Amino acid sequence: MKLSEKQLVLLSAALSAAVVAVAVAALALRRPAPLPAAGTGYVALIRIEGAIAYQTSQLSLLGSTASADDLVQLLDAALKDPLAKAVVLRVNSPGGSAAASEALYLKVRELAASKPVVAYVEEYGTSGAYMAVLPAARILAANSSIVGSVGVYTSVITYSGLLEKLGVRVYVFKSGELKDVGSSFREPSEEDKRVLQSIVDGVFELFKKRVLAHRRLANASEVFSGRPFLAEEAVRLGLIDGIGTLDDAVNLAREMAGLPKDAPVRELKPPSPGLLRLLLGAASLARKPVAPSVEVLAMWPPPG
């Protein structure tokens, strides 16, 4: 059926109105919870969900991540808001980039020095995510959650054998023998392996110091083996303080801050994108950052 010019104009207008309506509805759904009444203290809730990473991390190429930049801003907002009397960190993360996890740890430490912080592990609170919440005054976890996996690693994937079969040769001109350590275009030498292992060992030592500064462990050698633990075992080893629910964590935060039992909880979220950004977001999703081929990860389970 051929539409007249007037019908085409009306159809176009209707489609445009529908797109705007969907965008506005999406923005409404992302709108943060209303502010508490003036002068009323509240518990700030911040989610740490997904792999912790910066935009340029390899992990960002695998899909949605917990942006370290966004989380640091949210923690800073809770720190500066005098009405945020306590903070609950709602954690479901396998960790991620060691550097991003370290940045989060430092900000949580700064926050915990000023007001009560309680961490609650919903499913995963492992590796870098566990590091990040170490400064919390209390760490609780769900009964079936997994905690620990204290450690770091890095991976190097090489394509030299495949390139050779395809008849592709890569020539690298470098200023020093180790300038291209971790290159995907050649097999790592023994010296390459030594250098990469020394980097992993150095970051691991820092991780261990963080754990020992905040937790009294029942068996350090078991904890530092890198293995993950179910919540009950994590309590036994001293990795967490107890098993409970999110409500238990919120009530504990209220109690520690001297708030009434019915003090409100407000979830802090990153700012919603503008309407134009929402409508044109598909274009930005098509662009992927250039990520380094070697990255030290504090993560369990490893990315697939």
Phi then psi dihedrals of residue 49, to 5 deg: -130, 125
Rg (CA), the chain: 24
Smallest Cα–Cα separation from 140: which of 256, 298, 270? 256
Active-site residue set: 127, 179
> How many Å separate Cα 21 from the centre of its chain?
32
d(CA 249, CA 141): 9
Q: What beta strand segments (E) does the chain contain? A: 42-49, 52-53, 66-67, 84-93, 95-97, 117-126, 138-141, 146-148, 228-230, 242-243, 265-267, 297-299
> How many Å separate Cα 271 from the centre of its chain?
17
Q: Would you say how long the chain is, in residues?
A: 304
Smallest Cα–Cα separation from 269: which of 35, 22, 45, 42? 45
Phi then psi dihedrals of residue 84, to 5 deg: -80, 90
